[in-house]
Amino acid sequence: MRPGNWQPPIELLAPEQNIIKRIKRAKLFTFLRQYRHQIFDDEFQEDLNKLYADSALGIHQ
pLDDT at position 22, please?
A: 93
Q: Cβ(56)–Cβ(10) under 8 Å?
A: no
In a domain, 56, yes or no: no
- The boundaries of the domain holding residue 32 are 14-49
In a domain, 60, yes or no: no
pLDDT at position 57, please?
A: 67
pLDDT digits (tens, 9 = 90+) for 14-31: 999 999 999 989 899 999
In a domain, 4, yes or no: no
Q: How many domains does the chain have?
A: 1
pTM reported for the whole predicted model: 0.64
3-state SS of 20-51? Answer: HHHCCCCHHHHHHHHHHHHHCCHHHHHHHHCC
In a domain, 5, yes or no: no
